[in-house]
Chains A and B, each alone.
Chain A
């Protein structure tokens, strides 16, 4: 399975981000924010399409909500780590409990952010991730 890459003018590969949240407002606001920061973004409001997309393409970062209709965000997290162990997953959720946080980390989440959150917080998290990745 060849990952589709997107290359900017200087020839460097841009960081690829997938966002899944069943509330459109979250996708609508995160997408342009990440685009402006120079990332390539695909955003989904239904988990089935997001699951299918994960099978096709490797993303550097996956940002997912946990509790949604249809697939649970936890499944997207597990499946992502299964096929793309290097992909970092950030969990965003409105039902933040220490249980769900623990489970997310056990399943390999990089960070766990409770909604509502500041736009700058998630941008920082992603920046930290990208900086970490480039050092590897």
Chain B
């Protein structure tokens, strides 16, 4: 833009008043904002569905979907700017920031790399494998997603590694030394290695790194109330513990005191350049630029007994066993095979019976040294020949190990330890390669599935793929899930976030009703529990205690345990959740779907706080409604309509803009009474809202839980949403209504047309939000969905967003449905506060349907419309 044009733009508000814009034109813009708003929400839900494993999608889809959603959001922001005639660059900046992050992800560049040189274990997950190496990224999943214990600690990232190498000029020297090597002469390589290692061991730490490591050590010290912190300093290189284990290639140092962290760090880095490690990498085709070493520092566990475990014993697969090696004291005794140990073989199937036990004579144990390092100690005589794990410990170990295996869908090689209080810690877990002869596995699998008896298949929606076998646990009411047996398959009427507590125990979840986008679905995906919802028949077809196998990848439920299926899954070449496309889509969705801008009264409700496309969409919608009201009230020279306040007993704060024949009030009148409403759909809705007696005016007993949640959600103690009168808007003509009604914290959007031709008639209803926690809100969403379905609406539920559509009914029928909708809006006003249980939801449904019955029998719509047609 040239300077002149820029100045012109800047001073445009000095121009003489423009001729009025017909209100219909503004309204058209507003409608287009609403439409885009709806399409964005639907596209987001659609993208989320793709993570279920039910869909085959490719890279092209990801590109296209991101392109489409970006395009819609951009147009939404542009429309809003036109409507508000503002130069709200902030919102464009927010959009561009998010779009840029999305482009970077799509281009294969990590958009938010951790540029910190250190990071606490609490923050780790597998998305950070580049930054902390696979070993610690996996530990992050195990600790933070699966909720198993790992020793506390932090990681010095690969970013620190590069800084360290560059600071000391080592990277260049290594490249130079390598370019001189012919790839053969062993002596030469050894000499190069020796030199590099020596230089690393003598290298200087960059100041910033030094400060960061000290800060982390301080945190650990204060958390564990100790000044004599002792750490295990462990390698976590790129590619380690992934396709190639690099087992034993890199160094780990135990019992490191705080003062020794930096030396230990240098030692671990130096171990990258031993001739053996280098050869190992060269042999497997790793390039020099693919080398990076992150180093984990974890608080030492006072180990009573430690060891290693394979979730699939290296036996013929039919044996279905896991094997544990264990010895007193610290782990290296077992892992490096330097001391006698016990070997336990357990059944893979619950209750994990002990199949065999071999006891070693364990006369020595590895323990922490007095000041640093480790020392060997004598084991008391009676313990030499005693098994070092109890039955209870074996069970806990088996449960934890299989939870990890199920999560990664790969057999695992796990290092673990029990402390003096018999608390289990997972030290490391890496995939165990047991891929059997392919042909053999395949003929097994189809024989097995063809022979097996199918209970039902292809019913409902897959939320999370995978295979699980177990006994059916029927949950039909609010029974206590404390008794949910380990390894069972939950069969329930509805999805419910309540089931979060059994995620770690369940081998699968099947429900009669439910959506693939709710809270429970998110959790099932997080834990990777095979889950199918909305089957319609599961609780009828399956009985308590039935042995079944759920193959959620194919959406089939088999009677009996089909071991071949789980084995097939564990030996499949690729795991969907580990595929690049899955991880990419999940990362992208984090920039698209989460909603951070929840409360429009909060100070954070502004463009600069928009972190996702959903935030921008929510903000734009709110501002568009506000602007339309504002425009119609205060800027009359711009258009030709006067908004009229509806005179009604309920605190609706409703402004009506009459675009054509929607009211009989005079053009200039500032108010309109109920009797003056002529708009057929608006009249019907208001009638339902005011006359059905559904507007809950009883003071709602707000229990502390929901109250606190509303406080934290709004950061205000004034309960602003209920106290302050919302300004709501209806735009109406004789046949048309567009209603934006915010009651408290939730939105009702109704768009309807009712004319003489049934084919043109439609009503679309959207409901979103609420004050209480997500569980109650989604219960209310389900309640609304149930009512709408009863009224023949086509209903979609995405979390707490309910969308209902009804078309092509006769005028009388449409009016009757909209009246009931009015009743429903009144009834649900504060309902989430009352939704304490799933039972409550069913009771509300029955209550509502009963109370609305008289309305259903009313003559529909305005009097001249005549009686409701049958």
B contact residues around A38 at 8 Å (CB)? 446, 449-450
Shortest distance in angstroms between A65's beta carbon and chain B's nearest beta carbon? 9
- Which residues on B sit within 8 Å (CB–CB) of A35? 442, 445-446, 568
Q: How far is the CB of A64 from chain B (nearest CB, A)?
A: 14
Binary contact track A1-20/B, C-beta < 8 Å → 1, others 0: 00000001100001000000
Bound Cα distance A119, B553 (Å): 8
Residues in A neighbouring B57, C-beta threshold 8 A: 25, 115-116
Shortest distance between the CB of A4 and any CB in chain B (Å): 14
B547 at interface, CB cutoff 8 A: no
Q: Does A37 contact B (CB under 8 A)?
A: yes
For residue B54, CB closer than 8 A to chain A, the reply is: yes
- Residues of chain A within 8 A (CB-CB) of B555 are 119-120
Knowing A25-B581, A116-B50, A119-B554 are in contact, say whether A36-B568 is a contact too (CB < 8 A).
yes
Q: Check A25 against B55 for contact (C-beta < 8 Å).
A: no
Cβ contacts under 8 Å, A29 to chain B: 56, 574, 576
**A130, chain B: closest CB distance, angstroms:** 13
Residues 1 to 55 of chain A near chain B (Cβ within 8 Å): 8-9, 14, 21, 23, 25-26, 28-30, 32-33, 35-39
B551 in the interface (beta carbon within 8 A): yes
Instruction: Select the stretch in B59-67, B184-192, B218-226, B374-382 that faces chain A.
Output: B59-67
What residues on A are CB-neighbors of B64 within 8 Å? Answer: 94
Task: Give Cα A75 to B274, complex, Å.
Answer: 53
Q: Does B580 contact A (CB under 8 A)?
A: yes
- B residues less than 8 Å from A9 (CB atoms): 443, 447
What's the nearest-Cβ distance from chain B to residue A72, in Å? 16
A129 CB–B CB distance under 8 Å: no
Proximity bits, A88-130, B CB within 8 Å = 1, else 0: 0000101000000000000000000001111110111000000
> B519-553 vs A: 1/0 string, CB under 8 Å?
00000000000000000000000000000000101
Contact B553 A37 (CB under 8 A): no
A25 adjacent to B579 (CB under 8 Å):
yes
* A contact residues around B553 at 8 Å (CB): 32-33, 36, 119
Nearest CB in chain B: distance from A20 CB, A: 13
Return chain B residues, CB-CB under 8 Å to A21.
58
| Distance of B607 from chain A, by nearest CB (Å) | 33
Q: Does B573 contact A (CB under 8 A)?
A: yes
- Are the C-beta atoms of B58 and A116 separated by less than 8 Å? yes
Question: Which residues of A sit under 8 angstroms from B50, Cβ to Cβ?
Answer: 116
Set of chain B residues within 8 Å of A26, measured between Cβ atoms? 56, 58
How far is it, in angstroms, between the C-alpha of A124 and the C-alpha of B800 when the chains are bound? 32
Report if B640 contacts A (CB, 8 A).
no
A28/B565 in contact, CB under 8 A: no
B865 within 8 A of A: no
Complex contact B572–A32 (CB within 8 A): yes
A94 and B57 CA atoms in complex are apart in Å by 9
Say whether B453 faces chain A, with CB atoms less than 8 Å apart.
Answer: no
Chain B nearest CB, measured from A102 CB (Å): 21
Contact, CB under 8 Å: B60 / A115: yes
A124 to chain B, nearest CB (A): 8
Closest residue to B580 on the A side, CB-wise?
Answer: A25
The CA of A33 and the CA of B446, in the complex, are separated in Å by: 11
Residue ID in chain B nearest A40 by CB atoms:
B442
Interface size counted on chain A using CB atoms at 8 A: 28
Q: Identify the closest chain B residue to A31 (Cβ).
A: B573
Q: Does B458 belong to the interface (CB within 8 Å)?
A: yes
Q: Please, which residues of chain B bring their CB within 8 A of the CB of A118?
A: 54-56
Smallest Cβ distance from A47 to chain B, in angstroms?
A: 15
A-facing mask of B452-463, CB < 8 A → 1, else 0?
Answer: 000000100010
A1 CB to closest chain B CB (Å) equals 24
Write out the residue numbers on chain A whose beta carbons fall within 8 Å of the beta carbon of B53: 119
Residues of A within 8 A of B462 (CB): 119
Does A8 contact B55, Cβ atoms closer than 8 Å?
Answer: no
Q: Which residues of A contact B554 (CB under 8 A)?
A: 33, 36-37, 119-120, 123
Residues on B with C-beta less than 8 A from A119 are: 53-56, 462, 553-555
Give Cα A30–Cα B55 distance, bound, in whole angstroms: 10
Who on chain A is nearest to B46 by CB? A116
Give Cα distance in the complex from A33 to B553, angstroms: 8
Complex: A113 Cα to B59 Cα, angstroms:
17
In whole Å, how far is B564's beta carbon from the nearest beta carbon of chain A? 9
Q: Which residues of chain B are near A116, meaning CB under 8 Å? A: 50, 55-58, 61
Q: How far is the CA of A30 from the CA of B53 in the complex (A)?
A: 11
Q: Which interface residue of B60, B61, B579 has the most chain A CB atoms within 10 A? A: B60
Complex CA gap A124/B56 in Å reads 14
Chain A residues in 8 Å Cβ range of B450: 38
Assess whether B54 is in contact with A23, with CB atoms less than 8 Å apart. Answer: no
A94 touching B58 in the complex, CB below 8 Å, given contacts A116-B50, A120-B458, A123-B554: yes
- Knowing A37-B449, A123-B554, say if A25 contacts B54 (CB, 8 Å): no
**Could you tell me the distance in whole angstroms from the C-beta of A31 to the nearest C-beta in chain B?**
8
Cross-chain contact B573 with A37 (CB below 8 angstroms): no
* Contact A36-B445, Cβ < 8 Å, known A118-B55, A123-B554: yes
Of all chain A residues, which has the CB nearest B555? Answer: A120
Q: Is the CB of A25 within 8 A of B565?
A: no
In the bound complex, residues from chain A placing their C-beta under 8 Å from that of B576 are 29
Give the distance in Å from the alpha carbon of A92 to the alpha carbon of B59 in the complex. 14
How many angstroms between the C-alpha atoms of A29 and B574 in the bound complex? 8
Q: Do residues B447 and A28 form an inter-chain contact, with CB atoms below 8 A?
A: no
Contact present for B55 and A36 (CB under 8 Å): no
Task: Return A5 CB to nearest CB of chain B, in Å.
Answer: 14
Do A23 and B568 contact each other (CB < 8 Å), given the known contacts A9-B443, A36-B445, A36-B554? no
Q: Mark A63-90, 1 if CB is under 8 A from B, else 0.
A: 0000000000000000000000000000
Task: Tell me if B573 and A28 are in contact (CB < 8 A).
Answer: yes
Smallest distance from the beta carbon of B649 to chain A beta carbons, Å? 50
**Of B58, B443, B447, B568, which contacts A25 at CB under 8 A?**
B58
With the chains together, A116 CA to B555 CA distance in Å? 18
Binary flags per residue of B424-467, CB closer than 8 Å to A gives 1, else 0? 00000000000000000011011101100000001000100000
Chain B residues with Cβ below 8 Å from A115 are 56-58, 60-61
* Contact between B54 and A36, CB atoms less than 8 A apart: no
Q: Which of B55, B59, B568, B580 contacts A32 (CB 8 A)?
A: B568
Closest beta carbon of chain A to B457's beta carbon, Å? 9
Give chain A residues whose Cβ lies under 8 Å from the Cβ of B443: 8-9
What are the residues of chain A within 8 A of B55 when measuring CB–CB?
A: 116-119
Give A127 Cβ to nearest chain B Cβ, in Å: 10
- Contact between B579 and A23 (Cβ–Cβ < 8 Å)? no
Known: A36-B551, A37-B554, A116-B50. A23 touches B572 (CB 8 A): no
Bound together, the chains give a CA A33 to CA B728 distance in angstroms of 52
Q: Shortest distance in angstroms between A7's beta carbon and chain B's nearest beta carbon?
A: 10
Residue of B nearest to A94 (CB): B60
Contact indicator A30/B56 (Cβ below 8 Å)? yes
Docked CA distance A115–B445 (Å): 28
Question: Which residues of B (18-64) have their CB < 8 Å from a CB of A?
Answer: 50, 53-61, 64
- In the assembled complex, how far is the CB of residue A90 from the closest CB belonging to chain B, in whole angstroms? 12
Chain B residues, CB < 8 A from A39:
446
Please, which residue of chain A has its CB at the minimum distance from the CB of B53? A119
Q: Contact mask B580-617 → A, CB, 8 Å, 1/0?
A: 11000000000000000000000000000000000000
Give the CA-CA distance A118 to B56 in the complex, in Å: 6
Residues of B within 8 A of A (CB): 50, 53-61, 64, 442-443, 445-447, 449-450, 458, 462, 551, 553-555, 565, 568, 572-574, 576, 579-581
The 8 closest A-B pairs by CB, nearest first: A116-B57, A38-B446, A23-B58, A94-B60, A28-B574, A25-B581, A116-B55, A116-B61
Partner-B contacts on A (CB < 8 A)? 8-9, 14, 21, 23, 25-26, 28-30, 32-33, 35-39, 92, 94, 115-120, 122-124
Q: Can you name 6 A-B pairs with beta carbons within 8 Å?
A: A8-B446, A25-B581, A35-B446, A92-B56, A115-B57, A116-B61
Other A-B pairs, 20, CB within 8 Å; known A119-B53, A120-B54: A9-B447, A23-B58, A25-B579, A25-B581, A26-B56, A28-B574, A29-B576, A33-B553, A33-B554, A35-B442, A36-B568, A38-B449, A94-B58, A116-B58, A117-B56, A118-B56, A119-B54, A119-B55, A119-B56, A120-B555
